[in-house]
């Protein structure tokens, strides 16, 4: 379980996250959504203790993240950051094997372990390539494979479906759903609100560094709430197949009222 408790993140004079409370329980798929600049990625960075949080704590189960050594943390939670460009290309299999880095002193990396992770992330077809010879979508899946190889009870992905086509986007969310159903705590940062509505158990909607709404997709994804947060007219309909909320942003001549 990942829990954010009054987390604040400040970059100089700018306060990007202003007291955020929510949790991503084990066995559930939790989606962290919100407009650009609402503080989603800053929350992920707070989890990695990359910036000294200006206040509050992130908890993994009953342990404060700040009290964990780097490796111990990486054995509890796998994080796929939003962006990643290796300085030098390396073979995809070696890249995925780095998911075992936090476990180095324990079990040795097996080729089977790596291939199983690649297969599950739908990236086995590029296993023999180099990291500079894969497409944007393949790269996303290879990075997800590395997080799977890390084999942690909690997993956090920051926009894992950027650059993915519809089929791979669906496959990625099916995978996240399956990981949650296995009992892992899965937290995904994404802009794909319609997929969130269909797959997520809980939605946490951020706005200006605060939680604007949280709960099941049905509760959070209402026209007035989304319209207020995104500053754009949105109609919420129903997905005929599964009954989940379905968002249709309207065409409008007016400009967005807030970013």
Partner 1 sequence: MSLSRWLALGAALLLAIALAVSVGTVTVPLREVFSVFTDDASPLAEQVVWQLRLPRAVLAACVGAGLGLAGAALQGALRNALAEPYLLGVSGGAAVGGVVAYAVGLTALGLLPVAAFLGALAAVSVVVAIARVAGGRADARLLVMSGVVVGAGANAAVMVALANVPPDRARGALWWMMGSAADATWPQVGWLVVYLVPTMLWLWRDGRTLDVLALGDEPAAALGADVASASRRVFLLASLVAAATVAAAGLVGFVGLVVPHLSRSLGARVHRVLLPASALVGATVVVLADIIARTVASPADIPLGAVTALVGVPFFLLRIRRVTT
* Residues making contact with partner 1 (CB under 8 A): 45, 48-50, 52, 69-75, 78-81, 83-91, 94, 98-99, 101-102, 104, 130, 150
Other beta carbons within 10 Å of 135 = 10
Longest CA–CA span in the chain (Å) reads 60
- Whether residue 54 contacts residue 9, with contact meaning beta carbons closer than 8 Å, is answered with yes
Say how far apart CA 249 and CA 256 lie, in whole Å: 12
By beta-carbon proximity to partner 1, the closer residue of 85 and 252 is: 85
By beta-carbon proximity to partner 1, the closer residue of 77 and 221 is: 77
What is the nearest approach in angstroms of partner 1 to the Cβ of residue 1? 19
What is the nearest approach in angstroms of partner 1 to the Cβ of residue 31? 19
By beta-carbon proximity to partner 1, the closer residue of 1 and 90 is: 90
What is the nearest approach in angstroms of partner 1 to the Cβ of residue 243? 36
What is the nearest approach in angstroms of partner 1 to the Cβ of residue 147? 8
Say how far apart CA 105 and CA 225 lie, in whole Å: 49
Bridge pairing between strands 63-64 and 2-11:
unpaired
Cβ density class 224-235: b for 16+ within 10 Å, e for less: ebbbebbbbebe
By beta-carbon proximity to partner 1, the closer residue of 69 and 166 is: 69
By beta-carbon proximity to partner 1, the closer residue of 46 and 244 is: 46
By beta-carbon proximity to partner 1, the closer residue of 72 and 235 is: 72
State both tokens at 133.
Answer: 């010879």
Single out the residue of 131, 150, 130 nearest to residue 140, CA to CA.
131
Residue 15, class by beta-carbon neighbours within 10 Å (0-12 exposed, 13-18 middle, 19+ buried)? Answer: middle
What is the nearest approach in angstroms of partner 1 to the Cβ of residue 25? 21
What is the nearest approach in angstroms of partner 1 to the Cβ of residue 85? 7
């Amino acid at each position: 379980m990942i829990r954010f408790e009054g987390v604040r993140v400040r970059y100089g004079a700018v306060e990007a996250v202003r007291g955020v409370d929510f949790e991503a329980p084990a066995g559930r798929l939790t989606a962290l959504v919100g407009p650009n600049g609402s503080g989603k990625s800053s929350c992920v960075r707070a989890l990695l203790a990359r910036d000294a949080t200006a206040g509050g704590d992130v908890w993994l189960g009953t342990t404060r993240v700040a009290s964990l050594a780097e490796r111990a943390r990486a054995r509890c939670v796998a994080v796929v950051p939003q962006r990643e460009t290796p300085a030098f290309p390396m073979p995809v299999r070696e890249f995925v094997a780095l998911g075992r880095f936090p476990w180095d002193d324990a079990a040795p990396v097996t080729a089977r372990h790596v291939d199983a992770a690649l297969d599950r992330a739908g990236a086995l077809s590029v296993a023999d390539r180099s990291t500079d010879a894969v497409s944007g979508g393949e790269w996303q899946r290879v990075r997800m494979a590395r997080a799977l190889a890390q084999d942690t009870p909690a997993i956090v992905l920051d926009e894992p479906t950027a650059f993915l086509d519809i089929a791979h986007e669906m496959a990625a969310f099916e995978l996240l759903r399956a990981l949650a159903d296995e009992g892992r705590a899965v937290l995904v940062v994404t802009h794909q609100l319609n997929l969130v509505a269909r797959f997520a158990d809980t939605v946490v909607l951020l706005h200006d560094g605060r939680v604007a709404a949280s709960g099941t997709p049905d509760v959070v994804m209402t026209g007035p709430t989304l319209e207020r947060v995104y500053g754009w007219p949105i109609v919420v309909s129903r997905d005929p197949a599964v009954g989940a909320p379905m968002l249709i942003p309207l065409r409008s001549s007016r400009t967005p009222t807030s970013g």
